[in-house]
Amino acid sequence: MTYTSILYLSIFLPGVMLLYQLAPGRHRYKVLLAASWLFFLSLSGKLIVYLLISTASVHHIGLWLSSCKKELDLTGASAEEKKSLKAACALKRRRILWLGLGIQLGMLVVLKYSGFFSDNINHLLKAVSYPNQLPAMKFALPIGISFYTLQAVSYLADVYYEKIPADDHLGRLALYLTFFPILMEGPICRYSQTANALTEGKPLEYKNVTYGLQRILWGLFKKLIIADRLNLLVETVFGSYKQYGGIVVILSALLYTFQLYADFSGCIDMTIGTGEVFGITIPENFRQPFFSKSPSEFWRRWHITLGTWLKDYVFYPISLTAPIKKFGKNSRAKLGKHVGQVVASAPALFGVWICNGFWHGTGWHYLFFGMYYFVLILLENLSEPYVIKAAESLRINRNNVFYRIFQSVKLLIIVFTGELFFRAETMTAGLSMFQSIFTGFDTKALTDGSLLQLGLSLPDYAAVFLGFLAVLTVGIIHERGISIRDKISGYKIPVRWTLYYGAILLVIVLGAYGDGYLPAKLIYAGF
């Protein structure tokens, strides 16, 4: 059962809505929790045991962190004793935090990465002709582990830094970690963003329900009409990459980027829409990323919640460690304010991008993807004042439309190249495909019908183009700060309903499902 299946859309979601509405307010969160666990069970079965261990340990460790502070009794203690008691308490809390993080991240590392590590160690052992090998390690991954682990880590860190109080309500914490719409692909929510709303038990409201369903429909449009259709071409080219080169590889990198955006942002639309139905505001994860001017801006608009998570729980903690602070001070003193500042941020930035690459998967091409953006963003930060200066001395208006087009084209080339390596089966495949762009470049593919041999027919390309126009139009409108749903709700019923019926039919008719299409999984659910 996934968010696009008929079972989910016509039975599961309406059933949960009905039970939620019928349940008394204080018990409504139980309906959501039961539904979330049922959803988890339907996808991962007995692997729910990992989720339950995560939930129980987060709950217990959060309370432990909190009680440790509360138990600190300084009455009657001298200043010296107070200092020593506080230091002991801080040390204990730090150890408890590390224990909590160890449990959460330990499970993730063992389940997700042990195969990667053992494979690479074995390659190394073979290379040095060592006779023994590690046993092959491969574990089944519970759905959403990469997402709920990050939520659990953020909760523990926030309790530790006393940004939020520890929650003694096990049900609320469990629901925060596994609310069914966020289970498969996030977004990565913070406890302060969703936990209270999840247990508030607000009744369903007409406006929330209609707005939520509209958002779900828009997500289905992107996922079924664009992403799942492009899946055919992407699978064909990336699956047999040795057969293709030049224009075909460029096109497949471009279309894969579009597929990934439509798939991931479409799923997030469904997630946020489902949250809205129940009156729960789930944070946005995308903000028209292709309208960005630079790689760093792109990442502030693409997978926003992962970016902010990495900033808060990797970048800042690394930046604030004593050695890095000292390194920063020295860098600024030796290299000047700007360059020193950029160099000082490099270790923390490196941490962010290595985590970003690793979080996405266990292949060298994912690490390359992370390092690719690390280098690009470091260079961008380093060169920014010089670019501004150069533009001024050449009298180039940086707000000029041509300069904007230049920036967009440059960014799109950067993004497409990154996604080519990201999607490639292996690092070698990525390099081979990248190389084939230049060695096998031939414009004949545009006219000799090769593009119709990649799994998509002419009507398919037409449907993708229609989807692209719709996404572009909606993006431009959103970029101008206009709410389309508010606009639509202002129309009279005949117009409004015609639009709704038209959109539903469009998704049903043009959706790439059934005969001739591969059953396409949600891409980020695999990370």
Partner 1 sequence: MHAGNKLKTLSFIIGLTILLYIMSFLFLPANTGAEGLYKKAGGIYKEPKNTIGYLSIGDSESTTSISPMEIWNTYGYTGFNCGVPAQKLQDTYYLLEKVLNKQSPKVVLLETNACFRDFKYINALETIIDDKTEKIFPIYQYHNNWRYFHFYMLKNISADVAEKPSPVYKGYQYNINSKPYMGGPYTEETDEVEEIQDQPYQYLTKISDLCKEKGIRLVLYSSPSPKCWTYAKHNAVKQFADKNDLDYIDLNLPSDQLSIDWNTDTRDGGDHINYYGAKKVSAYIGSYLSGLSLLTDHRQDPRFESWNNEFKAYETQTMKSSK
By CB under 8 A, name the binding residues for partner 1.
Answer: 1, 5-7, 10-11, 42, 45, 203-206, 236, 240, 243, 453, 455, 457, 459-460, 493, 497, 500-501, 504-505, 508-511, 514-517, 519
Pair 420, 249: CB distance under 8 Å: yes
- Give least dist CB 504 to partner 1, A: 7
Q: Which is nearer to partner 1, 98 or 501 (CB)?
A: 501
Residue of 21, 408, 341 whose CA lies nearest to 203? 21
Q: Which is nearer to partner 1, 212 or 511 (CB)?
A: 511
Q: Which is nearer to partner 1, 167 or 460 (CB)?
A: 460
- Give least dist CB 464 to partner 1, A: 13
Pair 40, 32: CB distance under 8 Å: no
Neighbours of 517 (CB within 10 A): 16
Q: Which is nearer to partner 1, 486 or 515 (CB)?
A: 515
- Give least dist CB 380 to partner 1, A: 41
Could you write out the DSSP letters of every residue in 472-524?
Answer: HHHHHHHHTT--HHHHHHTS-HHHHHHHHHHHHHHHHHH---STTS--PPPGG
Q: Which is nearer to partner 1, 11 or 53 (CB)?
A: 11
Q: Residue type at 400?
A: N
Pair 451, 248: CB distance under 8 Å: yes
- Give least dist CB 44 to partner 1, A: 9
The 3-class secondary structure across 428-456, one letter per residue, is: HHHHHHHHHHHHCCCHHHHCCCHHHHCCC
| Phi, psi at 141, each rounded to 5° | -100, 130
- Give least dist CB 143 to partner 1, A: 12
- Give least dist CB 358 to partner 1, A: 27
Contacts of 100 (CB under 8 A, 6+ apart): 57, 58, 61, 62, 65, 156
Q: Which is nearer to partner 1, 110 or 204 (CB)?
A: 204
Q: Which is nearer to partner 1, 207 or 326 (CB)?
A: 207
DSSP E strand stretches across 302-395? none
- Give least dist CB 458 to partner 1, A: 8
Q: Which is nearer to partner 1, 282 or 507 (CB)?
A: 507
- Give least dist CB 6 to partner 1, A: 5
Give the CA angle between residues 207, 209, 214 to the nearest 5°: 95
CA dihedral 14, 144, 513, 474 (to 10 degrees): 80
Neighbours of 36 (CB within 10 A): 22
- Give least dist CB 517 to partner 1, A: 8
Q: Which is nearer to partner 1, 101 or 510 (CB)?
A: 510
